């Protein structure tokens, strides 16, 4: 088999063949033969969370479009996306999308950010989501909507899409090299972190005024909150011990309790990570990316939160579990589990058959990546049954998404299944499942990665291959032009 030549999920003729393939990969993935519909089905079971009820087991995971105005105001594209989040029928809308707590913390000049001038428009995004949900479901009963608060840290590009203006928590031996940082690149001072904590608290208060049910203090994907979790070499109050590395989260939570009392707090967490990957140079030719291989790294490798330092290609939940204990102490019970980072090891966070322009060919059958996320969430759920856990990374399952989603919820491996890329391609999937219509195969996301390649090249994100709105947009041609030289093997 040539590299990257993994069988397409669409090639399996039914659940039995799919399961046989899982077995051939040694994957023990739950997968039901028949997907139930209606109010008694496993995916329709309500879930009680504090004083709220989430009345089905499907969530829309945060999906940004990098399509706001430069002043942070949502555009028609942004509004359309949030409307479609609501139309999905999923009862948990996680964050909508990453919302920067201040303009210089954006990952892209067109990222959403919260400020006095944008607050009303962000409240409108929430209302648009509710409107979409009512159109689809007839009411907005037990619909829970949060806002994801972020600072992009190392991956800040607030002014120019081609230039990082990184704010780093520590000097990272591999990422500094990968992104070409000068040797004297300064790290954020403790005072800068303290000021940022204030920004989070102010933003949370604004989110509460907008009517959001919760805020997510984002700790994933290599952005600042996540980077702090691996700041083992950082001196001072925000680095070193796990207690120090979680001080950022603890101080934000304390601030929210005192300034925005009653607002629920959640965390999206990259619970596992690994070393950065790169295309194998011996198998890459101009215009064709090789399969991903781990970047050279010395052992012990201590810069991946949730990895075994002596073999960072293996995950280790010891520290993530200690973080769960801390979150429990802070009153946090809603956690959305994801993995790693789209910037340095995308196959771990978003299993895909086709790489984005800055990626590499999958080094493993993407189903192995799906199983990795399902398995580690299962382990966390067993250890922390009192938490409500949302899982991620399910889109690659395509036609078998409903069978696996139902099985993992039914068997208690996860509480709620989050949907990412599939939402862009086919937002009505949750309703089609819950109402027993089955999947519309032509609309399934086939993980072409255009929704990532586009923003990496300064073009707004969206599902260009399958969503007619983007297919017919002027940006479609722009994307085709940038994809040409990055053509894959």
What is the binding site for ligand SF4 (CB under 6 A)?
A: 421, 424-425, 445-451, 463-466
Choose which of 56, 118, 392, 457 interacts with ligand FMN (CB under 6 A). 392
85 contact partners, CB below 8 Å, separation of at least 6:
60, 63, 93, 96, 129, 132, 423, 427
Interactions with ligand FMN, residue window 146-205 (CB under 6 A): 148
Residue number, 255 or 351, with CB nearest to ligand FMN:
351
Choose which of 220, 307, 439, 466 interacts with ligand FMN (CB under 6 A). 220
Binding string, residues 259-288; x marks residues near ligand FMN by CB under 6 A: ---------x--------------------
Our measurement of the distance from residue 136's CA atom to the centroid of its chain's CA atoms, rounded to an integer in Å, reads 25
Structure token digits, residue 102: 């201040």
If binding is defined by CB under 6 A, does position 376 make contact with ligand FMN? Answer: no
Residue number, 231 or 451, with CB nearest to ligand SF4:
451
Our measurement of the distance from residue 129's CA atom to the centroid of its chain's CA atoms, rounded to an integer in Å, reads 19
- In this structure, the number of other CB atoms found within 10 A of the CB of residue 233 comes to 15
If binding is defined by CB under 6 A, does position 395 make contact with ligand FMN? Answer: yes
379 contact partners, CB below 8 Å, separation of at least 6:
317
Q: How far is the CB of 418 from ligand FMN (least distance, A)?
A: 7
Residue number, 246 or 461, with CB nearest to ligand FMN:
461
Structure token digits, residue 126: 């929430």
Residue number, 64 or 239, with CB nearest to ligand FMN:
64
Using CA atoms, how far residue 34 sits from 45, 209, 408, in Å, is 17, 43, 13
Q: How far is the CB of 439 from ligand SF4 (least distance, A)?
A: 14
Please state the φ and ψ torsions of residue 383, each to the nearest 5 degrees: -80, -25
Q: Closest residue (Cβ) to ligand FMN?
A: 420
Residue number, 58 or 424, with CB nearest to ligand SF4:
424
CB-neighbour burial class of residue 161 (10 A; exposed 0-12, middle 13-18, buried 19+): middle
Q: How far is the CB of 455 from ligand FMN (least distance, A)?
A: 7
Q: How far is the CB of 78 from ligand SF4 (least distance, A)?
A: 16
Interactions with ligand FMN, residue window 86-115 (CB under 6 A): 97-98
Query: What is the greatest pairwise CA distance in the chain?
Result: 60
Partner in contact with 397, chosen from ligand SF4, ligand FMN, none, beta carbon below 5 to 8 Å by kind: none
Partner in contact with 457, chosen from ligand SF4, ligand FMN, none, beta carbon below 5 to 8 Å by kind: none
Partner in contact with 157, chosen from ligand SF4, ligand FMN, none, beta carbon below 5 to 8 Å by kind: none
Using CA atoms, how far residue 472 sits from 11, 85, 460, 463, 466, in Å, is 29, 21, 14, 11, 10
If binding is defined by CB under 6 A, does position 419 make contact with ligand FMN? Answer: yes
Interactions with ligand FMN, residue window 59-78 (CB under 6 A): 61-64
Cis peptide before 300 (omega within 30 of 0): yes
Partner in contact with 420, chosen from ligand FMN, ligand SF4, none, beta carbon below 5 to 8 Å by kind: ligand FMN
Q: What is residue 131's DSSP assignment?
A: H
Structure token digits, residue 196: 């940022």
Q: What is residue 100's DSSP assignment?
A: E
Q: How far is the CB of 446 from ligand SF4 (least distance, A)?
A: 5
If binding is defined by CB under 6 A, does position 58 make contact with ligand FMN? Answer: no
Residue in the block written with tokens 């159109």:
135
Choose which of 78, 338, 345, 403 interacts with ligand FMN (CB under 6 A). 338
How far apart (Å, rounded) are the C-alpha atoms in residues 112 and 68?
Answer: 6
How far apart (Å, rounded) are the C-alpha atoms in residues 340 and 357?
Answer: 18
Choose which of 77, 118, 398, 461 interacts with ligand FMN (CB under 6 A). 461
Using CA atoms, how far residue 214 sits from 38, 111, 144, 172, 223, in Å, is 28, 20, 8, 32, 20
Stretch binding ligand FMN (CB under 6 A), from 78-86, 118-126, 391-399, 472-480: 391-399
Residues that bind ligand FMN (CB under 6 A): 61-64, 97-98, 148, 220-221, 268, 338, 349-350, 392-396, 419-422, 451-452, 461
């Amino acid at each position: 088999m040539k590299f990257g030549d993994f069988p397409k999920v669409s090639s399996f003729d039914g659940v039995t063949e799919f399961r046989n393939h899982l077995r051939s990969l040694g994957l023990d993935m739950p997968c039901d033969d028949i997907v139930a519909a209606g109010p008694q089905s496993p995916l329709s079971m309500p879930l009680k969370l504090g004083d709220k009820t989430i009345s089905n087991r499907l969530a829309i995971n945060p999906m940004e479009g990098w399509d706001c105005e430069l002043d942070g105001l949502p555009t028609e594209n942004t509004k359309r996306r949030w409307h479609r989040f609501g139309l999905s029928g999923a009862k948990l809308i996680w964050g909508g999308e990453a919302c920067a707590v201040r303009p210089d913390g954006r990952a892209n000049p067109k990222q959403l950010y919260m400020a006095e001038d944008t607050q009303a428009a962000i409240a409108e995004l929430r209302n648009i989501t509710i409107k979409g949900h009512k159109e689809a479901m007839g009411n907005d009963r037990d619909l829970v909507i949060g806002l994801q608060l972020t600072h992009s840290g190392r991956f800040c590009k607030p002014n120019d899409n081609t230039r990082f203006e990184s704010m780093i928590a520590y000097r990272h031996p591999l990422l500094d090299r990968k992104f070409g940082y000068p040797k004297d690149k300064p790290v954020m001072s403790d005072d800068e972190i303290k000021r940022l904590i204030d920004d989070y608290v102010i933003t949370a208060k604004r989110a509460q005024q907008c009517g959001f049910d919760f805020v997510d203090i984002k700790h994933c994907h290599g952005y600042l909150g996540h980077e702090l979790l691996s700041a083992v070499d950082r001196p001072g109050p925000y680095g070193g011990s796990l207690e120090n590395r979680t001080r950022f989260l603890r101080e934000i939570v304390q601030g929210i309790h005192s300034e925005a009392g009653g607002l629920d707090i959640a965390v999206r967490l990259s619970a596992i990570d690994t070393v950065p990957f790169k295309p194998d140079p011996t198998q890459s030719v101009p215009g064709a990316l090789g399969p991903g291989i781990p970047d050279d790294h010395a052992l012990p490798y201590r810069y991946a939160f949730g990895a075994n330092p002596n073999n960072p290609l293996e995950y280790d939940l010891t520290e993530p579990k200690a973080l769960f204990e801390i979150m429990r102490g802070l009153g946090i019970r809603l956690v959305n589990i994801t993995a790693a980072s789209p910037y340095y090891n995308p196959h771990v966070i978003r299993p895909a058959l086709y790489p984005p322009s800055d990626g590499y060919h999958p080094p493993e059958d993407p189903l192995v990546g799906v199983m990795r996320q399902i398995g580690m969430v299962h382990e966390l759920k067993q250890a922390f049954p009192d938490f409500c856990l949302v899982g991620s990374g399910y889109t690659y399952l395509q036609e078998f998404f409903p069978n696996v989603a139902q099985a993992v919820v039914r068997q208690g491996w996860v509480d709620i299944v989050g949907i990412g890329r599939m939402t862009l391609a086919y937002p009505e999937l949750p309703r089609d499942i819950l109402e027993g219509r089955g999947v519309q195969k032509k609309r399934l996301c086939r993980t072409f990665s255009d929704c990532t390649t586009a923003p990496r090249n300064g073009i707004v994100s969206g599902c260009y291959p399958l969503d007619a709105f983007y297919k017919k947009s002027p940006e479609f041609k722009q994307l085709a032009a940038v994809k040409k030289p990055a053509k894959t093997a």
